[in-house]
Amino acid sequence: MSALHKTMDPLKVVILVGGRDFGRCPVASRLNRALWPVLGKPALQVLLDTLAEQGVKRFVISCENQSDMIRRAICWDEETLDVSFREETLPRGPAGCILDAAGSGDERLLVLPANIINPPYIEQLLKLHCSDKAAMTVFLNPAIDAGGEPKASDAQIYLCERTALEQIPEAGFFDIKEGLIPALVREGRTIASAQLPFESGHYRNWSEYAMQIKRLCHRHLVNSRKLDGFPSYADRPDVQVGSGVNISERAKLFGPVIIGSHSVIAGDAMIFGPTVIGENVTVAPGAVIEESVVWDKAVIGDNARIRYSLVDSGKTVPEQTEISGQLASCFPASLRKAVDRLQARKMRKWIRRRIDKRQATADVLTLSGQSQTEGLGVIGLAVFIFSIAALIFSYWSPSLEYLARTWMRSDEYSSGLLVPIVAVYVLWARRHRFGRLSIQPTLWGGIFLLISQLIRFFGLYHEMRSVEGISFVLSIGALVFFLFGWRVFKQFIPIFLFLFLMLPLPKQAESLITVRLQSWATASSVFCLETLGFEIERTGNIIGIGDTKVAVAEACNGLRMLTAFVVVSALVTLVTTKKWMSKAVILLSSIPIALICNTLRLTITAIAFTKLDTEQWEKVFHDFGGLAMMPVALLLIVGELWLLSRIVIEPTKKIQIYKQKQVIYRRKTKEHLIA
């Protein structure tokens, strides 16, 4: 034992405790995964006791938050163990937490996640690490067959030398796999990998936790290992129970089964192992529990069926209910108090209606064994493409034919041809973002689709082509809303609004705008020419420069530039990652940029007409001047982006990730508040 303690002396164990995981697992939202029970003790307590029995004396527990709660949940011998806590106020990442927890000294660092059930033997880890003479050793769980090929999974366990910490920055987020290991490789340091003799029992969600608990129960009882505080029941080594357990003679237990203290198993109840039942659990007559985990103070109703599931602490499973492969979670008490506060703010009816709706949906999913709809996949994409093709076919004649002729014949709206192409490109560029969203079809989308079709019939009846085009774009948005639900449509809104730019203006609106634009173009050109020292005589929309007369025709009003620049600016806002305020400035500035470029073109053209003698050269310069304004406008937009980058301080990538986590935290908290 002395040799073992000598090996442990230069070793410090860093235990990483993550924060509560809002959204992905209701139990993790309520209780930190490090405190999930393992045979009557928190998982972190089991890890601490196991490592202390192996001779480890120095521990640093790094918490993302709630260090006080973690400290109160566990206990240790302060005379023999040196246990300290660190709470990270900002996300530092696993490697950053290791550097913060390392402190001063020359010990090797063993990094472990708090949520493991079957800690490894430290002496074996040290031998594997020292044999490779590596700066860091990454430990893997034993390989299992996955699709016919053995595959080893990461155990989230690392052993590293002090010199490896030199590559970790003092501040900011820094990961082990994506940051520290590549940095060590670039420095020529040795990174070793070793396989654990047995699985560490690491879990991330309730299903992995339940599986690991059942494996732990099976290992202990099949090998007839006695658990502290769990004597055998009726001389059966495969069934161990705590103190004060009341088991009916008519109840049937098929081990391995572990039952916590003061639990009651009523008559005709059946429990099939491996199953672990917590303390103060009540199992009613006729209930069946098969290969499941039941936490403390849960109540299983008459003739309920629990299979391959996890029942949350204090959860009451109604009678005749069947749960298979599900998490039966409770409404957290803290969130119920928040609901009460909202009810006091005159939101009683709205909250109650949402709670009843979500609860009814949860009951249906529980009873039917169904799960939530998965994200947008190949089937959803195929349905969307087929629906859009059918929509285009139904609108082709006369609506889309008229729209295509307008793009080809009208210079003012030729830029509309680029809009659907750009929209498809942006959809493809954002495909991963849409793929992560859940599909939740809604009848509201069908109602909006019906309204868009009524708008279409109104346009057909009154022969209003612009109304037909508007109904086509509205139908696309309604179709997305109907097929995929609000979450997908919310991400689709920028593209949906962009599609309106492919439509020509209504005739009345176009006539009103062109007259005002023509007058503005004439007045602004006269102002510029007079500023340059020319003597100008204006008659309506005709500018006199000496003996030369320049007419500002209707085609020179600038509508062509206005539509083209708005499309280009909208495209920039779709593909850039700037803040929404910067995007709004870019989009709104397209109007003055178009007017300035048109005024500049007319001014230069008027001056050129005083120097050119032939009508042919005048026409060539007139057309060339219009084309030359496009790169000028692009330069103005680029200059505007440069100026915004100097005025508006964009958050760094790490701050953006932190803010995204805060947004997700608030959204998930709101969802839990309602559901």
- Express each pLDDT in 75-124 by its tens digit: 888 888 888 888 876 677 888 888 888 877 778 888 989 888 888 888 88
Whether the predicted pLDDT of 289 surpasses 90: yes
Q: What are phi and psi of 134, to 5 degrees?
A: -100, 155
pLDDT of residue 306: 92
pLDDT of residue 179: 85
Tokens, residue 473: 């774009």
Strands 542-545 and 548-551: antiparallel
Q: What are phi and psi of 248, to 5 degrees?
A: -65, 150
Whether the predicted pLDDT of 364 surpasses 70: no
Share of the chain above pLDDT 90, in %: 4
168 vs 179: CA distance, rounded Å = 8
Q: Which comes out higher in pLDDT, residue 328 or 148?
A: 328
Alpha-carbon separation of residue 442 from 110, 377, 435, 439, 611 (angstroms) = 51, 18, 18, 10, 66
Within 8 A by CB and 6+ apart from 531, the residues are none
Share of the chain above pLDDT 70, in %: 76
Alpha-carbon separation of residue 662 from 64, 91, 195, 358 (angstroms) = 14, 11, 37, 24
Give the tens place of pLDDT for each residue, 477-490.
888 888 888 888 88
454 vs 318: CA distance, rounded Å = 48
Whether the predicted pLDDT of 163 surpasses 50: yes
Which of 173-182, 515-524, 610-619 has the least mean pLDDT?
610-619
User: Cβ–Cβ contacts within 10 Å for residue 11, how many?
Assistant: 19
pLDDT of residue 281: 92
Provide long-range contacts, Cβ within 8 A and 24+ apart, for 75-82: 75/45, 76/48, 76/52, 77/52, 80/52, 81/48, 81/52, 81/57, 82/57, 82/58
Alpha-carbon separation of residue 463 from 71, 403, 459, 467, 472 (angstroms) = 74, 14, 6, 9, 15
Q: Sorting pLDDT into bands at 50, 70 and 90, what band is 292? A: very high
Whether the predicted pLDDT of 492 surpasses 90: no
pLDDT of residue 368: 38
pLDDT of residue 373: 44
pLDDT of residue 149: 59
Structural domains for the chain? 2-195 (3.90.550.10), 206-328 (2.160.10.10), 378-502 (no CATH), 507-653 (no CATH)
Give the tens place of pLDDT for each residue, 121-135.
888 888 888 887 888
Most confident of 212-221, 265-274, 522-531: 265-274
What is the average pLDDT across 633-659? Answer: 64
pTM, two decimal places = 0.50
Q: Sorting pLDDT into bands at 50, 70 and 90, what band is 649? A: low
Which of 376-380, 411-415, 669-673 has the least mean pLDDT?
669-673
pLDDT of residue 365: 41
pLDDT of residue 305: 92
Give the tens place of pLDDT for each residue, 421-438.
888 888 887 777 776 677
Q: Sorting pLDDT into bands at 50, 70 and 90, what band is 242? A: confident
Q: Residue 441, CB half-sphere, CA atoms under 13 Å: how many?
A: 9
Q: Sorting pLDDT into bands at 50, 70 and 90, what band is 180? A: confident
Q: Sorting pLDDT into bands at 50, 70 and 90, what band is 557? A: low
pLDDT of residue 374: 47
Q: Sorting pLDDT into bands at 50, 70 and 90, what band is 544? A: confident
Tokens, residue 276: 């672990």
Beta bridge partners of 12: 58, 109
Tokens, residue 338: 């928040």
Give the tens place of pLDDT for each residue, 182-240.
888 888 888 888 888 888 888 888 888 888 888 888 777 665 555 555 666 767 778 88
Give the tens place of pLDDT for each residue, 1-28.
344 444 455 788 988 888 766 556 777 7
Q: Sorting pLDDT into bands at 50, 70 and 90, what band is 372? A: very low
Q: Which comes out higher in pLDDT, residue 655 or 468?
A: 468
| Residue 529 CA, distance from chain mean position | 56
Secondary structure of residue 221 in the 3-state scheme: helix
pLDDT of residue 615: 55
Q: Sorting pLDDT into bands at 50, 70 and 90, what band is 376? A: low
20 vs 664: CA distance, rounded Å = 13
pLDDT of residue 420: 85
Within 8 A by CB and 6+ apart from 485, the residues are 438, 439, 440, 441, 442, 445
pLDDT of residue 659: 56
Q: Going along 409-489, which residue ranges are E strands?
A: none
